[in-house]
Amino acid sequence: MVLTLKESQNKLRWIKKRLSEIKTKFKQNEPVPVDINKLVQNAVKLILSEEEINIVPTYQDGIPTIYIDENKIRSVICNLLSNALAAISKSNRKNGQISVITDVITLNRIQYIQVSIEDR
């Protein structure tokens, strides 16, 4: 099959359009500046706002804004909160407690942001 110049150009435009759509659909999220404390606080509201569980938040002031894939980290934090909630629900305790802590730790002179979620 031989294509005319116009048909070839149309086909090429179609291919470029499809490639663009595919790249957009499967594009990985770019790192963006994120305030970890706000991200964690919003996740707590999203997952635990309707629950009758004692939430003990300890958010360290002054945690620097960092560049991360916000959606992936939010997903991890929501998963940890859901797991803590499930563990408390399985234990059939009415006085369950979830501690949510953000902190900056230093190991080998390198600073890391730590998020801890503990259920009791």
**CATH code of residue 95:** 3.30.565.10
Q: Domain range holding 52? A: 29-119
**Residue 95 phi/psi, 5° resolution?**
-110, 40
Q: List C-alpha distances in Å: 22 to 8, 16, 18, 71.
A: 21, 10, 6, 20
**Is 17 within the bounds of a domain?**
no
pTM (2 d.p.): 0.72
The type of residue at 92 is N
**Is a pLDDT exceeding 90 seen at residue 118?**
yes
pLDDT tens by residue, 11-56: 667 777 776 766 665 565 688 999 999 999 999 988 887 777 889 9
**Number of domains making up the chain:** 1
Mean pLDDT of the chain: 84
**Is 18 within the bounds of a domain?**
no
